[in-house]
Structure 1
Amino acid sequence: MVNSCAKVGIASAVALLLGWAYQAARPPPPAILGSPGGPTVTSPRVRLKDGRYIAYKEAGVDRKTAKFKIIFTHGFASTKESGFPMSQVEEIVCCLVQELAEELGIYMLYFDRAGYGDSDANPARGLKSDATDVEELADALQLGEKFYVVGSSMGGYTAWSCLHYIPQRLAGVALVVPAVNYWWPLPADVSRSAFEKLDVRDRRTSWIAHHMPSLFYAWITQKWFAMSPIVKGERDAFTDWDWEVLTEFRRKNPESGQADPAKATQQGTYESLCRDVTILFGNWEFDPTEIKNPFPNDEGVVSIWQGYEDKIVRVEIQRYVAQKLPWVRYHEHREAGHALPNKDGVGDDIIRELLLGAAHAGLQSGIRQDG
């Protein structure tokens, strides 16, 4: 009798646990933008072929007269309002060679990636859809045959997707501290070395995202185990150098950055954060190290900018990718962490090289260490 009761109790506990897991793994439906009681849309938007809307923000000179047109893809838990850390819009041209100032005209386009901010969620979101979102947005705003792309941090995988899926539309690409996938086809020693240097909480989170993506929402919302410092944006995810740079950047630019962090996830964490992480750490349809050079005649620049001390994006994988793609210009700053683009002058260097090429930007070629 006792054994029977014990078995019934265990079976009930298992059933309850499975029931909890099933319910916890089912994310709530996304909040519908602009619906009664839903988040208010405050940005201009364009409609894509599948009926979704993408929100955007423009800066710089008028797109109709611009010589250079750049599309920026934001990072994790962010929106188009984060911008890009370089000189104020009205001063960008002045930061370049003075005699070229009148010749240069820079138009900048920032947009909320699908599921973030004021851009509709995409239930079929993936690497390819992120690239085609960029292409359709450019076409809707009539940016012309070619445009530049800058992908920062998590937005880096969108930049890789553009290089793979829409290379014919690109005039140049800058990957700025771009996120990496520890399950890319990498040598075992490279992936192991990089992965083992992550905080154990970050290792656990990325492992679940890769091996059990259907449970990732349950994982990211549970309260029993400590969450990834990277996902939560905690101090532990950054180096002391990062913190000093970010503190100084915010002091000098009090109006910059994400004005309302809740705006990023207003449609739900599943449609924004969870999709981001599971796409990044999922099984990619292409190998970044086998991407073909879109500019065989040096008509454009592709660059990677990496901090050696970065605790969020490990340098070992970035170096390996750059070595496999000798046509990519690789810049590694010795003391920098993930806040590299926020360092004084670095954002301008990134844009100078992207638009003007190495010769005009005064930068050396190939893999290099930048101070």
Structure 2
Amino acid sequence: IEFELRKINSIFTHIEKFDFGNRQNLNKFTEPFKKEDLKPSYYMRRIKNLLASANIQTNPAVWLLTNAIFPWDFFHGYRLKKYKAQIAKILPIWLERFYELEALSSLANFAWLNENYIFPQLLEKEQSNQFEFIQVGHPLLDVNKKVNNDFGMVNNDVIIITGSNMAGKSTFLRTLGVNLCLAYAGSPVDAQVFRTKMFRLFTCIRVSDSVTDGLSYFYAEVKRLKALIDELQIQDDKPLFFLVDEIFRGTNNKERLLGSRAYIKALTGNNGLGFISTHDLELVKLADEIDQIKNYHFRDEVIDDKMIFNYKIQEGPCPTTNALKIMKIEGLPV
């Protein structure tokens, strides 16, 4: 116990003694570490001394003689229980403030490491635009290689993104998701302009099967997509922002197309907006039936038997495919 207390005491003592100067918010935030009757060092020092005193058990002769004269173990057990009751009230406060301070430090470090990032602008609920992103990129991609994109949305639309393999569909969805998470956490984002309303976020990306639960990939995806429908039915001031990567890819072509058409139609007309990537080019026809559905795509070119991608999102359905081209380049029979 003493060893574990020593580790946590070093952290709490550092916060307790650190001088935050005239930073009023930080001084107020760390008050539970600095008030005389709440200081961690006050309690930790007494518990440490108590445990050291109780450590005479390591010397059997001294321990036996002491307990024969005075109820040494009983006394120290009683004192430890008393300190435990006192700390039980304030330890959750210390830990909660420490956890939040650690998270804020991580965000501050992220901002310092990425000085070219900008802080997002949160739009009021009454404003017409849902969001506007200019030159938004994924923070984990190499700055010398990544391609940033522009995108904006006024209405609660459902965007179908088509495109060839490796063209950038999944990366674009992740780019939007991770930057929204950063924005709502109070962090800078990888963009030149980032204006957005407050959304509830929901993703169906990298769904996996489970041997232990007896779930196939397709069934796991169905359960996740059902959860998305349920979230859309919730009455909330904040619309749902959803990202679905390669919908129903775990089943055959015919049923995937029929299921995807019915599902995407069900997403429209609700308190939500989002993006769905797919390889099923037949789904782009939904935009002709429902105004709320829009088509965008990523495209590729083959030049001298090499795949060339520009990773720029463009309006309309994808005019190219590349599966057979990739197979041929890698020497597979086509």
Larger RCO: 1 or 2 (CA < 8 Å, sep 6+) = 1
Whether TM-score is above 0.5 comes out as no
Q: TM-score, normalised by structure 2?
A: 0.27
Q: TM-score, normalised by structure 1?
A: 0.25
